[in-house]
Amino acid sequence: MSHLGSALDKAILKKVNQHLSRMSLGSQGRVTATIANGQVVLSGTISYENQRRPALKAVGSVDGVRGVVDRLRVPAPKLYGRPSSPPSTNRSPTLDHPETNKPIALSGSPSPATASPPPKPPREQVELDDSKALAGYANFCRVMGTPEELIIDFGVNPQPFGAPTRPIAVTQRIVTNLYTAKRLLQVLQLTLQRHEATFGAIETDVQKRAQGGRTSG
């Protein structure tokens, strides 16, 4: 490659990287661009498949780019261990597996009529180190979202009855992707179902709870 060609490629690559830096590629986005004679090669990872075409289009629109080679990949979603099953009951509730959409038993053992092939080896459990975790309390949350993430703000509302007369201080903000949010929703639903099956329904309407606690004179 001539010195002139090398200098031109460097100038084009600088513009390509500027275009890529303006794109929101998510927490797992790690895209690298290389160039030779105006031919750009994109490699690395993107968070979602629908980010591929915009990235290729943005690079291809840069002046001087003769072609774009796509070597981008989307990482496979991480798998997490399944929560332990509750004590066996007469009828085991089921929950669709988040990846196969096939029902999985939450408790008990399958009957002979519905026996399935030998189960696969259990998934590897994720080890956690919570020695540096900060514990807090919240009775208020606000949920916001983007096309790629979920934003949850937590705080304490000192006036849970009626409209607050002063702003609620947000003490914690959690930002997560939508895949993790859906898994969290499934775990929360399962946990609440187990609790209500043991202790009764959880009434979120304060007025109904107050009426339910009244006794006749």
| pLDDT, tens digit, 9 for 90 and up, residues 48-93 | 788 888 888 889 999 999 999 999 888 776 555 555 555 555 554 4
| Contact indicator for 188, 180 with CB cutoff of 8 Å | no
Count of structural domains within the chain: 2
Q: Is residue 216 part of a domain?
A: yes
Q: Which two tokens stand for residue 9?
A: 């490629």
For residues 45 and 66, membership in a common domain is answered with yes
The C-alpha atoms of residue 177 and residue 151 are separated, in whole angstroms, by 9
Q: How many CB atoms lie within 10 A of CB 47?
A: 19
For residues 169 and 82, membership in a common domain is answered with yes
Over residues 28-53, mean pLDDT: 86
For residues 146 and 186, membership in a common domain is answered with yes
The C-alpha atoms of residue 106 and residue 87 are separated, in whole angstroms, by 10
Give ∠ CA 171-176-178 in degrees, rounded to 5: 135
For residues 160 and 181, membership in a common domain is answered with yes
Q: Is residue 205 part of a domain?
A: yes
For residues 82 and 185, membership in a common domain is answered with yes
For residues 19 and 82, membership in a common domain is answered with no
Whether 39 has a pLDDT exceeding 80, the answer reads: yes
The C-alpha atoms of residue 46 and residue 148 are separated, in whole angstroms, by 12
Q: Which two tokens stand for residue 22?
A: 């303006």
For residues 34 and 48, membership in a common domain is answered with yes
For residues 82 and 175, membership in a common domain is answered with yes
- CB burial readout 154-183, b (16+ within 10 A) else e: bbeeeeeeeeeeeebeeeeeeeebeeeeeb
Segments forming the whole domain that contains residue 60: 3-73
Q: How far from chain centre, in Å, is Cα 190? A: 18
Mean pLDDT of the chain: 77
The C-alpha atoms of residue 24 and residue 82 are separated, in whole angstroms, by 32
CATH code where residue 61 lies: 3.30.1340.30
Q: Is residue 14 part of a domain?
A: yes
Full-model pTM: 0.38
Whether 8 has a pLDDT exceeding 80, the answer reads: yes
DSSP state letter for 105: E
For residues 82 and 187, membership in a common domain is answered with yes
